[in-house]
């Protein structure tokens, strides 16, 4: 990494969908009473408003809030060549803590590639043209395409018979994506590679073992694919990574400390910035941060939760940052919420006012600790 991160205060990416956007999506996708062009105009207005919100609270990095998406990951994946999204019966939905995710499943019909007209390139261009600060876009990391696709949903014999072929294509697909986003003007690309954290959870490790994969081998392979995808990025492009344990309507899907993956994530992926969930004991202790090498990488411990509206105090956050600083240099840290506010269009159990106060708290805490956001 040859450039400093753009700020001490940041956020993962997704924001609550305004009521007008939710209503418009209902009218387009369920009721069939509104055109996609009309929906885009409503989304454009809402995104412009959330960009202004982020700027006004003092953030120096902004996103589109993922307002055009239904899911944080599937919308991007569905835009890849060779990958389709299939909706099944409700009882097949993925379990979270007390709720079930909508039953949408990725399926692979042909070898994967990143197309020149992937819609999220234009999503980024809109943010870049609308903001006066640094535009960022968050996409799912490459591991998502493997972790979330069942073997029965892969119609490419090479992928089924030899996972190395699958991983090689994933690396090339994402390397193309990195290049295309750079060509679109993106200098700060975030990849949400949350399944490193899932592979710290015994039940998810057991699930992968039942599928025929050694979880520890997967951890290394996912890091290898990420490193291959981003290694040729230009020197002035920052790559971030977010890790969490699920975020659907204020619930979660995994538990487990980072200990099994921290060294690999920090030192074998080539990533510059790390957003790490740390709002509950489910994330384990801060000692995992000791694996971050001295240098210019930066970690953003997510002490501020997006799952509940209660506002953390600056003093309490400062104490937590002080504790983290016993494991990693204070200059290699920033502050961010633990996850997005709306990893799916349903959103978490907060109001837009709650969300604004959380974002203000991020900036206020950064200013209190580092003197600047």
Express each pLDDT in 221-260 by its tens digit: 999 999 999 999 999 999 999 999 888 778 867 889 999 9
| pTM of the model as a whole | 0.93
Would you say residue 102 has pLDDT above 70? no
pLDDT digit string (tens) for 196-207?
A: 999 999 999 999
Mention every residue, 6+ apart, whose C-beta is less than 8 A from residue 303. Answer: 278, 279, 312, 317, 320, 321, 335, 338
Mean pLDDT on 113-140: 97
* 300 neighbors 334 (Cβ within 8 angstroms): yes
pLDDT at residue number 4: 55
CA distance readout (Å), 200 to 143, 250, 270:
15, 20, 20
pLDDT at residue number 253: 77
Cβ neighbours, 10 Å, residue 203: 11
Secondary structure (3-state) at 343: coil
User: Taking Cα atoms as reference points, which of 76, 188, 80, 81 lies closest to residue 139?
Assistant: 76
CA distance readout (Å), 356 to 2, 9, 287, 349:
32, 14, 31, 14
Q: What span, in angstroms and rounded, lies between the C-alpha atoms of 242 and 246?
A: 11
Domain 19-370 has what CATH class? Answer: alpha beta
pLDDT at residue number 350: 96
Percent of the chain with pLDDT over 70: 94
DSSP 8-state symbol, 200: T
* 343 neighbors 76 (Cβ within 8 angstroms): no
pLDDT averaged over every residue in the chain: 93
Q: For residue 123, count CB atoms less than 10 angstroms from its CB and return exposed for 0-12, middle for 13-18, buried for 19 or more.
A: buried
CA distance readout (Å), 327 to 257, 280, 289:
15, 19, 6
DSSP 8-state symbol, 251: B
65 Ramachandran zone, left/alpha/beta (phi>0; psi -120 to 50): left
pLDDT at residue number 6: 72
Q: What span, in angstroms and rounded, lies between the C-alpha atoms of 172 and 4?
A: 27
pLDDT digit string (tens) for 45-100?
A: 999 999 999 999 999 999 999 999 999 899 999 999 999 999 866 656 655 555 55
- Supply φ then ψ for residue 82, to 5 degrees: 95, -5
Q: Where are the domains of the chain?
A: 19-370
């Amino acid at each position: 990494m040859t450039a400093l991160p753009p700020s001490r205060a940041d956020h993962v990416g997704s924001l609550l969908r305004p009521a007008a956007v939710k209503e418009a999506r209902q009218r387009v996708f369920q009721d069939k009473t509104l055109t996609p062009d009309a929906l885009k105009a409503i989304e454009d207005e809402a995104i412009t408003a959330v960009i202004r919100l982020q700027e006004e609270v003092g953030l120096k990095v902004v996103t589109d809030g993922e307002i055009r998406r239904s899911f944080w990951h599937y919308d991007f994946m569905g835009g890849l060549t060779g990958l389709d999204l299939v909706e099944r019966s409700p009882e097949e939905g993925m379990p979270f803590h007390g709720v079930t995710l909508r039953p949408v499943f990725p399926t692979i019909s042909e070898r994967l590639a990143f197309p020149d007209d992937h819609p999220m390139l234009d999503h980024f261009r809109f943010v870049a043209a609308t903001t006066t600060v640094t535009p960022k876009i968050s996409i799912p990391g490459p591991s998502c395409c493997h972790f979330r696709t069942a073997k029965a949903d892969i119609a490419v014999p090479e992928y089924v018979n030899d996972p190395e072929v699958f991983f090689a294509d994933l690396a090339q697909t994402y390397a193309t994506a990195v290049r295309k986003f750079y060509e679109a003007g993106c200098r700060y690309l975030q990849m949400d590679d949350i399944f490193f954290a899932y592979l710290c959870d015994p039940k998810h490790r057991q699930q992968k073992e039942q599928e025929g994969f050694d979880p520890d081998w997967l951890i290394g392979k996912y890091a290898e694919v990420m490193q291959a995808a981003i290694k040729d990025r230009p020197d002035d492009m920052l790559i971030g990574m977010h890790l969490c344990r699920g975020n659907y309507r204020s619930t979660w899907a995994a538990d487990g400390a980072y200990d099994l993956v921290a060294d690999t994530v920090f030192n074998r992926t080539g990533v510059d910035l790390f957003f790490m969930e740390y709002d509950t004991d489910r994330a384990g202790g801060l000692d995992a941060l000791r694996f971050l090498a001295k240098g210019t990488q930066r970690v953003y411990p997510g002490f501020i939760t997006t799952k509940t509206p209660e506002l953390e105090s600056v003093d309490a956050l400062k104490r937590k940052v002080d504790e983290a600083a016993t494991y990693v240099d204070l200059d290699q840290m920033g502050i961010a919420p633990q996850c997005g506010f709306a990893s799916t269009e349903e959103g978490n159990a907060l109001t837009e006012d709650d969300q604004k106060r959380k974002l203000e708290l991020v900036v206020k805490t950064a200013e209190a600790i580092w003197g600047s956001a």
